[in-house]
């Protein structure tokens, strides 16, 4: 069984926080192999899970279970971002080759130029949202009609209206600040 690591375990300084949060070096190896191979079963086998006589189905189950853990998903995402970042110089060289190749199709050169410009000077869109809310009270009942309605509803639900406190008779006066 091949259990070679995708990266040396003594190189822990290069691990991100999600990889370091994994429980074991085997789990870290599983995450790295998953990024490389994309197969949970193959990653489980190469990381050293299972036994010598484990079947492909067993490795598939182990890999599936490993990939269900949020910590493993986070570690795989983190390692995937690292792999993409490491490929950036090669991608940039490819763009330059296509852009500078006079024999390249115009369509390919335009795509390469568009991709470079989208990363160097991305198009930005701004949205302005203006929310206006106006609320007006419109009372169609007088104060005595509102009081009569309250007393009617109270008696409907079984409240003895004779036991209710008296209505406060007052006039509101606005006081200047």
Between CA 157 and CA 162, with CA 161 as vertex, the angle to 5 degrees is: 150
User: CA Rg, the chain, in Å?
Assistant: 35
CA separation for the pair 88, 136 (Å, rounded)? 59
pLDDT, tens digit (0-9, with 9 covering 90-100), for 151-177: 999 999 999 988 888 878 788 888 887
Helices 70-100, 25-37: crossing angle, 10 deg rounding: 40
pLDDT, tens digit (0-9, with 9 covering 90-100), for 98-125: 888 989 898 988 888 888 888 888 888 8
CA separation for the pair 137, 174 (Å, rounded)? 18
Is residue 27 within 8 A of residue 54, CB to CB? The reply is no
Kindly indicate the confidence band of residue 54, based on its pLDDT and cuts at 50, 70 and 90: very high
Residue 96 has pLDDT above 50, yes or no: yes
Summary mean pLDDT of the chain? 87
Q: What is the pTM of this model?
A: 0.55
């Amino acid at each position: 069984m091949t259990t070679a690591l995708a990266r040396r375990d003594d190189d822990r300084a290069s691990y991100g926080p999600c990889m370091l949060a994994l429980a074991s070096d085997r789990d870290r190896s599983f995450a790295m192999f998953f990024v490389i191979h994309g197969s949970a079963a193959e990653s489980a086998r190469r990381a050293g899970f299972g036994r010598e006589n484990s079947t492909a189905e067993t490795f598939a189950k182990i890999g599936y279970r490993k990939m269900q853990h949020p910590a493993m998903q986070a570690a795989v995402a983190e390692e995937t971002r690292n792999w993409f970042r490491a490929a950036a110089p090669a991608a940039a060289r490819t763009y330059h080759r296509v852009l500078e190749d006079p024999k390249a199709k115009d369509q390919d050169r335009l795509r390469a130029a568009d991709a470079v410009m989208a990363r160097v000077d991305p198009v930005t869109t701004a949205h302005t949202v203006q929310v206006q809310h106006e609320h007006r009270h419109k009372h169609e009942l007088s104060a005595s009609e509102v009081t009569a309605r309250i007393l009617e509803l109270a008696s409907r639900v079984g409240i003895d209206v004779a036991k209710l406190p008296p209505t406060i008779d007052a006039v509101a006066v606005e006081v200047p600040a």
